[in-house]
Amino acid sequence: MSNLNQSENLELKKNALAVRKNILRMVKAGGAGHVGGALSATDIITALYFKVMNVRPDQPLWEKRDRFVLSAGHKCLALYAVLAEKGFFDKNLLDTYGSLGSRLPGHPDMHKLPGVESNTGALGHGLSIAGGMAMGLRLDNTESKVYVIMGDGELAEGSNWEAASAAAHHKLDNLMVFVDLNGLQIEGETKDVMSNADLVARWKAFGWHVLEIDGHNFDEILACTSKLPEVKGKPTVVISHTIKAKGFSFGEGKVAYHYWSANEQEMKIAENDLAEIERSLG
Amino acid sequence: MNTADPRKTFGEALAEIGKENSKVLAISADSSSGSGLGPFKKLFSERHIEFGIMEQGIIGYAAGLATTGKIPFVVAIAPFLTSRPFEMVRNDVGYMKQNVKIVGRCAGMSYADLGPTHHSLEDVAILRTIPGFTILVPSDPVEIKEVAKAAAELNGPVYIKIARDKMPIFNDNKEYKFELGKGVTLKEGNDLTIVATGVPVYNALEAANALEKKGLSVRVINIHTLKPIDKEIIIKAAKETGKIVTVEEHYLAGGLGSIVAEITAQHAPAKLHMVGVNDQFASNGPYDGLMAMYNLDTNGIIKEVESFLKN
């Protein structure tokens, strides 16, 4: 059960709105970006940083922090937007997106920006890195947890399943993965490009504790994160049903907005969409 | 000449290092005893992590462990830790600048009869393209211990290449001094320099001694650190002897010979001859037979030097 009361729920919605505004701000600066997956993962990443994870923006390398690994590194607009909103760095940096040598590259670099924990972008790397972190934190007897976002298209990479086996084998119950199941990848629907049927059964067979949620519903996100581990000795995966480009009306659920080369007209619509969300939140 | 098993030597060295530094971990891919990790496991079972046969995943896990301050030594069969998970080594260890030590054992052609799937003749070539990587190729058991110690002390990504068969112990003398990034002059000479690395270093030394008897003054340089390379010792040899022969258990493309060519061409042009495996998957069979086949044994090196001088 989620512990969110009505005002906390509203607060998270406002946070997520601010994050989407930051995403739009970066695309405006850079002219283009992987908005589809960033927007589908936005609500989960927002909830993690604002309600779940133990982090200190003024001490990004604080030893006891929880870790976040964006395995699907192309969703970095969402990560940068959340980190900025959380105060890890000056929001003016968002306006450098896409510029030469920007500290906000098209895939995250831990050595360029405070709060970024790993260099992802090549798919199929993040879960192993996160598993190593979880293992190291456990060796240190800390309570720190590791949270990961993976894309559903990314799951075709075989290395993920090596990582999944090892996490279960080594009983990394301080590890929680969200599969951002927006159902789309560059070539089309994920199920047509490379079958991802029975994800729940697959992860269960690999020895994971499996949950399934609506990845845009804060009550459900918070309910699944309220206790980690829910099952002692097992890593947890949360199959999260999401909508690609969630929040930008012209792009929602459309393959074409995996990578958005923004034009003025669509930019205007996106701004109006966010303004409307703002009005609805009061 | 005394000999010692390189894997056993490395394993003993790692156990010693483990005593000094509790952050050191040993990671294996199904073959911990084959990787010489027995002594480490015995002393520090909680710091040995077995992953089974999943080298792509292992490299990522090692990088993740390193982000929490651990010093993982990943020890497994060389090609499976280098060419197979190259992208993980490049991104998770190299690009993330993590303190991971990758130890490729039974390297080169030393898995002789198992054939090219188990040989690693491109490891140096591919790993040296990764910015910030240190590459260490020890020439004898004394150097294996030094290299292991230096790798643990260095904060950054390291690749160590070690062989399978027993190696002659020839660096056990007072003059020998290991310094990371520095070549070792094993023998002085003025007519020609042999620059060698790894297992064939001893053969190169033997060859130089034989050639000396034929009236040729041959300098021998042992390069245990291929990256960062000791440019000065090579430039000096190029200037003073004018001719260089490189010897390596590696493809000619991208290895020691290429490194020496890059240096001499830019800083001190010299006549260069490269000995190694030239653009072919190596054959299979007994290790000494393979080394002879590609002129990496003593007689082969003598032949290569003589034909180089003739032409």
pLDDT at A1: 54
Identify the helix (H) or strand (E) that includes residue A236: strand A236-241
Domain of residue B144, CATH code: 3.40.50.970
Answer with the residue of higher pLDDT: B31 or A163.
A163
Q: Which of B12, B55, B146, B206 is catalytic?
A: B55
Q: Are residues B42 and B120 in the same domain?
A: yes
pLDDT in tens, A216-235: 999 999 999 999 999 999 99
B120 assigned to some structural domain = yes
Residue B223 tokens, joined? 């390069």
Cβ B65–A135 below 8 Å, yes or no?
yes
Q: Are residues B26 and B129 in the same domain?
A: yes
B174 assigned to some structural domain = no
The structure's pTM equals 0.97
Q: Cα–Cα distance between A267 and A183 in angstroms, integer? A: 24
**Among residues of chain B, what percentage have pLDDT more than 70?**
100
Q: Does A162 touch chain B (CB under 8 A)?
A: yes
Q: Are residues B138 and B286 in the same domain?
A: no
Amino acid at B195: V
Strand pairing report for B167-168 and B158-161: unpaired
Cβ A166–B88 below 8 Å, yes or no?
no
Cβ A135–B64 below 8 Å, yes or no?
yes
B176 assigned to some structural domain = no
CA B271, chain centre distance (Å): 24
Cβ A118–B67 below 8 Å, yes or no?
yes
> A63 pLDDT exceeds 70?
yes
pLDDT in tens, B100-147: 999 999 999 999 999 999 999 999 999 999 999 999 999 999 999 999
**Whether A159 contacts B88, CB under 8 Å:** yes
ipTM of the modeled complex: 0.97
Chain B residue closest to A125 (CA)?
B60
Residue B188 tokens, joined? 């002085």
Q: Cα–Cα distance between A201 and A190 in angstroms, integer? A: 17
**Mean pLDDT over all residues of chain A?**
97
Domain's final residue, options B143, B168, B193: B168
Q: Are residues B216 and B275 in the same domain?
A: yes
Q: Are residues B122 and B220 in the same domain?
A: no
Q: Are residues B49 and B198 in the same domain?
A: no
Domain extent for B96: 3-168
Residue B230 tokens, joined? 């000791």
Mutation target for B interface from A116, A138, A159, A170: give the one with most B CBs within 10 A: A159
> A2 pLDDT exceeds 80?
no
Q: Does A48 touch chain B (CB under 8 A)?
A: no
Domain of residue B292, CATH code: 3.40.50.920
Q: Are residues B283 and B156 in the same domain?
A: no
Domain's final residue, options B168, B195, B227: B168
Q: How far is CA A70 from CA A33, A39, A118, A119, A237, in A?
A: 16, 14, 8, 9, 14
B206 catalytic? Reply is no
Strand pairing report for B218-222 and B184-187: antiparallel
Q: Are residues B22 and B163 in the same domain?
A: yes
pLDDT at A51: 97
Q: Domain count of chain B? A: 2
Residue B122 tokens, joined? 């491109």
Cβ B97–A111 below 8 Å, yes or no?
yes
pLDDT at A282: 87
Q: Are residues B194 and B284 in the same domain?
A: yes
